[in-house]
Structure formats: structure tokens, C-alpha cells
Amino acid sequence: MKRLSEKQIQYTLFHLSQHWKNEPSVVKSFVFVNQDEVDNQSYLGKVIFPLSDVQVPQTTTISILNTTVPVLFPVSKSADLYRIDGNGNLIFAHDFLKSAFYLLSGWQELQTGHRDFIGRYPHSQSIQNRLRCTKLPLVNYYFEAIVQGFEAYGMHHNKLIERRRLFNEFGFLLSHDVDRVEFYHYREIFFKLKQYFGLSKRYYSKALTLKLFFKGLLFKLNPFRKTDPWWNFDKMAEQEKRLGIRSTFYFLKQEHKNMDSRYQFSDTKIRNLIKRLINDGFEVGLHGTIHSAKHESSMMGQLREMTKALGHKPRGIRQHYLRFFHPYTFRLQIKAGLKYDTSLGFAEHEGYRNGYCYPFKPYDFERDEMLDIWEIPLTMMEVTALNYRELSYEELKQSVFDLIVEARKFGGIFSLLWHNCRLDEYQYPGITKFYNSLLESIVDVSPTCITGRKLVETIS
């Protein structure tokens, strides 16, 4: 990766302006120079950003807000973040712009051919994994270093530097991908037999798998049967309403025989559910099918069907399985008229795939330009903690609060995905109680509860 181009610098400054009110007289003083030209004596009262031309990150660590943070593109050995020289210049000690751009734009993901079995960029390949810093929003720290520099420059030159913050405390975005709606769907029931005979991976003990197969048959045969355990939307909505939360439900149509859902948006039950959720102030968005990440006709088809069911165009999308092809999937979403995506999180580790706890606009490297859609980063999904990482409930809760501490430092967002079908007492005994108490304890620390749609309306 060469020096940042003019467009890449402007892209990074666009996001920096989420943290300070661009003061024109300061912006006018910006100069971007090669890292070996920062001491040019002709500069007077400038804000000097050194540009690194190092190809791959050569990390060093610094301290920002009492936190040890790796800088990906250092340009000096200084432990300070910046200095003001005798000519009144503010000179940053490192290339914070490139360090921010590298993560925010997803540059590292395009460098490697590594993908998992469904085409996702694996956390194991990321620099965050290598540096053990997935749970730190590094880009926010880099921007903090720059704004601290602006403040020192403002003091020196008697200019007012005003900070900006998205939320007073932090924003809490809760969402649910509606992958499954029937625990006792006949295919789920017969799948248990397959699992029992070892033809598919088992989630329960052998005895419980067999018991659930027979339970499923009896459920189907019982004319007075109760509600299916995965048709739990009204209970979830009631709980959230009690806590003052309005979440987003992303619905997934059946397209692929096995890998998508087992319902259509036009099913009466689904249409009525969508109406109820909308009437209660929840957001309904699109959960893009496995094909939609790559195929235009698939993306457009489900957008049309969702628009019909909703009565208006959905604003937001999350791709099923977080399957994503950068920048192609973004281009399809933009073509479909969607305003935001919220698929960018690591499947196997909670934290910050793009190092940022704010909404951001993605970068299209092929066209060297910023894309016109918001990305609301996904911070944690329950399946990451429970399945990939095999955390206990207490460890999951601890991790949630570690991430909230970070979001709160910067007035950023904590975004949690919890699948309705993961409130499965057979697989995770006590999960419903734990989930409810988790929501209560999050609400106790005073977040602004907001949907993706509202958030995007606020910042656009």
C-alpha cells in the first residue's frame, strides 16, 4: 500500500469530521507531506500530517486515553502523539490517517485470498487477531489522537476546537436475524433423525435428539398444540417494549433450498408479524439470502417482495451468514436503494472488523471512491460467543460490557445480534433468562436505544 491518495485522505477526513466540527481556518492549514519532509523550515503554523509509504503495517505501540494501542504506520520513535514546534506547526508523530484508512476501508481483506467455506474473510487472518486487539476500536483511538492534536494547536493559536460525539453515553442497536421460525418444522423434525444416526452434526445429546424427534411428531399431530418455541416474536417484542428498546428484525426469504429460511415474505403469518412489529415501532429490514451477496436478480427480487410486505422500501440489510463480497455486495445494495448495511463483523470473534464503533461509509478500491451507503458495524452476535468461542454466559456478559466500555469512551455504538432461534432451552439451558437479564443490565447503563433506520436518518 503506497502513500494515501488524495481521495483516500479525503475519505479518512470525512470520518474524522464525525469527531470534531471542521474549523475552516484549521482545515486550511492542513499539509500532507512525505514522512521525511516534516521538518521543512518553511512551514509556519501548519497542521502537518506525515504520510507513510511503507507497504505493510510496521506496528509500534502508543498510549491513548490510558490504553495501549498499536499504531499500524508509525513514522517516528516518539511516545508522544504529536508536537508543536518552534514555528507553531502541529506535527503528528505517526501516520494516523493511513492507520485509520487501512482498517476502515477493509484494505487488509483485499490483500489476501483467504476466505472461509462460504466466502467470508476469517478473523484468524486479520491484523486484529495477530495483534490481539479485535475488541479495541483502533480507528476511534487514532481519530482521538488527531483531535487531541487539534486541541493543542487550537490552544497555541487561540482557535476554538469543538468536539462532536454521536451519543452522550453510547448507542445500543439490538437486532434479530429471522433465519428460522419453526422449531417443529417437519424438516427440522426429520433432521433430528439424521443427527441421531450420525449423518449430520448433533447439537444435543443422542437421547435428547431422539426425544425431540418424537416430541416434534406429537406436536404436529396435536390439534390443540401450543405456539412453536421459535415463534417467540411477541414475547421478545413485549420484553423489549418493557425496557424501552425498539430493535430491528431482518427477515430472510427462502431461496436456497437448505441455506436460507423456510418461509416467504408473502406468507400470511409473516406478513401479519411484520405489520405488528412495524405498528409497535420496531424496524423491519432485509436479511439478504446467500445468493444475494453476489447476484443482482436475487437482491432485486427480494427487495421487491419485502417492499410489498412492508408497504415501503426497507432501509437496511444484513447479509445471511455475513456473506459478503467487497465491494460488489455494497454495489448491489446501493442499486437496490438500501441506505445501510450491517453485516461487517467477524463471524468467529466479537469486536471491530473495521476498527470503528461509528457508522461509516465503505470504500470502493476498484473505482477509488467512497461508496454511498452507511455501514453500521456489527459488534457481537450471540452465535460467535456461544458456538465459535464457546464462552460461558458470564464470559459472554463480560465481553458485552468490555465492548460497551469502548463504545462509551467515544460515544459510539454497541450493536448486538441475537437470533430468535438461539433462545433454545434444549441446546442452551437457561438461555431465555440469561438473555432477558443481559438486556436489562445493558439498559441499566443508560444507552440510547436506537434502530439502524433511525440512526441513519440522524446522521444523513
Instruction: Determine, following the binding rule CB under 5 A, whether residue 382 of this chain makes contact with Zn ion.
Output: no
**Of 98 and 253, CB closest to Zn ion:** 253
**DSSP calls for 242-296:** HHT---EEEE----STTTS-S--TTSHHHHHHHHHHHHTT-EEEEEE-TTTTT-H
For Zn ion, the closer CB: 177 or 283: 177
In the complex, minimum distance from the CB of residue 46 to Zn ion, in angstroms, rounded to a whole number: 50
How far apart are the C-alpha atoms of 393 and 314, rounded to whole Å?
33
Residue of closest CB approach to Zn ion = 320
Q: Which is nearer to Zn ion, 15 or 180 (CB)?
A: 180
Nearer to Zn ion, 192 or 320 (CB): 320
- Asked whether the beta carbons of 350 and 135 are under 8 A apart, the reply is yes
Pairing of strands 316-319, 340-341: parallel
How many CB atoms neighbour CB 225 within 10 A? 11
Stretch that binds Zn ion, among 159-167, 174-182, 223-231, 400-408 (CB under 5 A): 174-182
What is the footprint of Zn ion within residues 286-345 (CB under 5 A)? 320
Nearest to 414 by CA among 437, 397, 432, 433: 397
Residue 136 cell numbers, joined: 479495541
CB of 287 to Zn ion, least distance (A): 5
Q: Which is nearer to Zn ion, 94 or 318 (CB)?
A: 318
Classify residue 243 by its DSSP letter. Answer: H
Question: Min. distance of Cβ 71 from Zn ion in angstroms?
Answer: 36
Smallest distance from Zn ion to CB 106, Å: 21
- DSSP bridge partners of 74: 94
Which residues, numbered 178-217, are part of the site for Zn ion (CB under 5 A)?
179
Of 456, 380, 447, the closest CA to residue 244 belongs to 447
User: How many residues bind to Zn ion according to rule CB under 5 A?
Assistant: 3
Nearer CB in complex with Zn ion: 287/315? 287
Asked whether position 177 contacts Zn ion by CB under 5 A, the answer is yes
The 229-268 site mask, x for binding Zn ion (CB under 5 A), equals: ----------------------------------------
Distance between the two ends of the chain, CA-based, in angstroms? 31
Between the alpha carbon of residue 256 and those of residues 188, 260, 291, 298, 300, the distances in Å are: 16, 5, 8, 11, 16
Closest CB 318 distance from Zn ion, rounded Å: 7
Using CB under 5 A, list all residues that contact Zn ion.
Answer: 177, 179, 320
